[in-house]
């Protein structure tokens, strides 16, 4: 890779850190902010060994329950007596064993992960922030304020707020932000709705920064997020940096609380693991920074992307991540760069969000198979094994659900064993959550295990069969 690391300019003139950011309570319910800070149950890194021990004990209990315990073993023995369900039992047990080994590997990498050092006011690079919005209403103002009042040298920051043909009052809020920060916020309005990629591209075209950051218009960053997320670019091998995504509206209902726990597990745990070998598979649109030269070199391919003959509109973040990886750069995760995002509060909204994610997942997993061969040998082997086992979970999980349905149909009392097994696995996952965030909300993670099993199982197969659909699916 020929590109040098970013040249970080010295502090210009009389630049000073901006005043503390304005509280984001102007247009949203105040109780959402009160829920944003997790309650602390235990404190300090000294207790890390407790979680290591808990994880080891949890592994042991899960293995015992699967192979010798009275909880699941009777189900496997009964399935082997079934007319044809026995054909699925041994492959499923083998996969669960391989999945356990993969989880052990991930756990080691997760415990070893450390955030990158942040930039300072003296060495912060020129930064362009692009915020695309469509029918976002008042929340877009909060997004812009969170960036404008963040801790960053004002002379090296520019913000582009792009209205993608909204039909509500989004444009009025963008203009209000531009009037409040006349030399900082540039409003851009597309005459009609053209999709999120076009909105982002409109901002990218005007960006002058060495680093370009994308922020969803339903999200607000923490005050130190900009300095944190630009820090990793001092490594010339880094092409994109993913931020940590948490839930803004946790107090809005049980679905946001469940999603917050899942976001910690997926956005923090998994991306920390992937970052350890420089291959974060999806740098989220909610908060991601790109090396500007790298981003602009792949824009043409990104804007013209098609899949099965249809132009690609959703999943722009995963597609852009793949293109950065294909260019030979690493994609990493910065835990200390946090963004809080609004999430669905109702079941139909939740389904639309997961449909959008799963459709882009199917498409970009196929694209990644062409990219992975360009990665260094060690990284390539890890990524191939990790993606193989990760994707095998879908047929295995659905095969397991079929077996369990047959067992419950033949003997209804087996449902109690199934429910107990879901609870046991969910409780084990909460050990990981509690290490990341000492919050009593871990109980909602257990609820989510049952919720996903019974209410969300249909989404991935439906996404596969409708993978060519085109929509933001955010409303």
Which pLDDT value is given to residue 470? 61
Q: Are 454 and 53 in contact (CB under 8 A)?
A: no
* pLDDT higher than threshold 80 for residue 15: no
Confidence of residue 266 (pLDDT cuts 50, 70, 90): confident
Q: Which residues fall within 8 angstroms of residue 409, CB to CB, at 6 or more apart? A: none
pLDDT of 8 strictly over 50: no
- Could you tell me the pTM of the whole model? 0.86
Q: Pick 224 or 51 by higher pLDDT.
A: 224
Name the residue among 276, 271, 286, 274 with its Cα closest to residue 436.
271
Query: What is the rounded CA–CA span in Å between residue 468 and residue 475?
Result: 19
Place of tokens 């300019």: 9
Q: What is the pLDDT of residue 397?
A: 85
What are the distances in angstroms from CA 111 to CA 23, 45, 232, 244? 33, 11, 19, 17
d(CA 299, CA 193): 20
Tell me: pLDDT of 49 over 90: no
Percent of the chain with pLDDT over 70: 83
- Give pLDDT tens digits for 217-232: 999 999 999 999 999 9
E strand or H helix at 211: strand 211-215
Domains, the chain, in order of start with CATH, read 48-113+382-465 (no CATH), 127-378 (3.90.550.10)
Copy the structure tokens of residue 177: 């932000």
List Cα–Cα distances, 174 to 77, 131, 132, 155, 196, in angstroms: 62, 10, 11, 21, 16
What is residue 337's three-state secondary structure?
A: strand
CB contact at 8 A, 6 and 212: no
Residue 157, strand partner residues: 127
Q: At 233, list the tokens.
A: 């670019």
Q: What are the tens digits of pLDDT across the range 394-442?
A: 988 888 888 788 778 888 888 888 898 889 889 888 989 988 888 889 9
Among the ranges given (79-83, 144-148, 359-363, 427-431), the one the predictor scored with the smallest mean pLDDT: 79-83
pLDDT tens, position by position, 270-315: 999 999 999 999 999 999 999 999 999 999 999 988 888 788 877 8
Q: What percent of the chain has pLDDT over 90?
A: 60
CB 99 within 8 A of CB 182: no
* pLDDT range class, residue 243, cuts 50, 70, 90: very high
User: Does the structure show a pLDDT above 50 at 446?
Assistant: yes
Q: What is the pLDDT of residue 70?
A: 63
CB 136 within 8 A of CB 218: yes
Q: Residues near 224 by Cβ (< 8 Å), separated by ≥ 6?
A: 118, 150, 151, 336, 337
Cite the DSSP H helix spans in 2-85: 30-34, 48-67, 73-80
Read off the pLDDT band of 66 (50, 70, 90): low
Q: Return the closest-CA partner of residue 46 out of 369, 400, 435.
A: 435
Taking the C-alpha atoms of residue 266 and residue 286, their distance in angstroms, rounded to an integer, is: 14
Average pLDDT, the chain: 85
Can you tell me which residue has the tokens 């429910």? 419
Check pLDDT > 80 for residue 392.
yes
């Amino acid at each position: 890779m020929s590109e040098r690391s970013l040249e970080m300019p010295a502090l210009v003139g009389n630049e000073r850190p901006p005043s503390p950011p304005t509280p984001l309570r102007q247009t949203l319910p105040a109780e959402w902010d009160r829920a944003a800070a997790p309650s602390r149950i235990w404190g300090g890194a000294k207790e890390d060994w407790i979680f290591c021990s808990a994880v080891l004990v949890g592994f042991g209990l899960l293995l015992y329950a699967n192979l010798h315990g009275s909880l699941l073993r009777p189900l496997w023995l009964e399935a082997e007596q079934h007319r044809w369900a026995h054909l699925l039992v041994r492959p499923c047990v083998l996969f669960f064993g391989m999945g356990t080994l993969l989880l052990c590997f991930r756990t080691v990498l997760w415990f070893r992960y450390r955030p990158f050092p942040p930039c300072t006011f003296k060495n912060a690079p020129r930064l362009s922030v692009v915020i695309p919005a469509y029918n976002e209403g008042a929340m877009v103002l909060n997004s812009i304020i969170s960036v404008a009042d963040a801790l960053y040298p004002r002379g090296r920051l520019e913000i582009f707020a792009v209205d993608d043909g909204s039909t509500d009052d989004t444009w009025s809020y963008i203009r209000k932000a531009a009037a409040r920060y006349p030399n900082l916020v540039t409003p851009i309005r597309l005459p009609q709705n053209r999709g999120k990629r076009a909105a982002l591209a409109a901002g990218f075209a005007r960006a002058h920064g060495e680093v370009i950051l994308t922020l969803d218009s339903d999200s607000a960053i923490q005050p130190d997020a900009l300095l944190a997320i630009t820090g990793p670019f001092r490594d010339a091998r880094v092409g994109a940096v993913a931020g940590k995504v948490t839930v803004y509206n946790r107090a809005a209902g049980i679905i946001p609380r469940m999603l917050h726990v899942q976001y910690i597990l997926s956005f923090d745990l998994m991306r920390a693991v992937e970052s350890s070998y420089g291959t974060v598979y999806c740098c989220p649109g909610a908060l991601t920074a790109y090396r500007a030269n790298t981003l602009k070199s792949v824009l043409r391919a990104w804007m013209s992307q098609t899949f099965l003959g249809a132009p690609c509109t959703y999943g722009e973040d995963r597609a852009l991540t793949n293109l950065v990886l294909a260019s030979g750069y690493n994609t990493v995760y910065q835990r200390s760069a946090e963004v809080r995002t609004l999430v669905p509060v109702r079941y139909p909204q939740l389904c639309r969000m997961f449909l959008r994610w799963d459709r882009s997942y199917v498409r970009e997993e196929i694209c990644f198979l062409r990219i992975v061969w360009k990665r260094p040998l060690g990284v390539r082997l890890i990524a191939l094994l990790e993606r193989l086992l990760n994707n095998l979970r879908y047929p295995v999980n659905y095969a397991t659900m079929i077996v369990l349905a047959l067992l419950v149909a033949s003997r209804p009392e087996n449902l109690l064993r199934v429910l107990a097994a879901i609870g046991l696995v969910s409780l084990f996952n909460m050990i990981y959550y509690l290490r990341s965030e000492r919050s009593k909300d871990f109980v909602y993670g257990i609820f989510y295990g049952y919720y996903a099993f019974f209410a969300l199982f249909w989404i991935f197969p439906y996404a596969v069969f409708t993978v060519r659909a085109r929509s933001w699916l955010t409303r």
